[in-house]
Amino acid sequence: MGGLLAVVAAACAPADGPPAPPDLLPPAELVPLLADLHIAEARAQHASRSPDTVQALYQRLEAQTFERRRVPAVRFQSSYAYYAARPAELEAIYATLTDTLAMRQVRVQAK
Single-letter amino acid code for the residue at 25: L
Return all residues near 58 (Cβ < 8 A) that are at least 6 apart.
1, 2, 3, 4, 40, 41, 44, 45
pLDDT at 40 (0 to 100): 96
Per-residue pLDDT tens digits for 74-90: 999 999 999 999 999 99
Q: What is the pTM of this model?
A: 0.81
Cβ atoms 96, 31 nearer than 8 A? yes
pLDDT at 3 (0 to 100): 57
Per-residue pLDDT tens digits for 56-75: 999 999 999 999 999 999 99
Q: Is the confidence at residue 5, as pLDDT, over 60?
A: no
More confident site: 26 or 2? 26
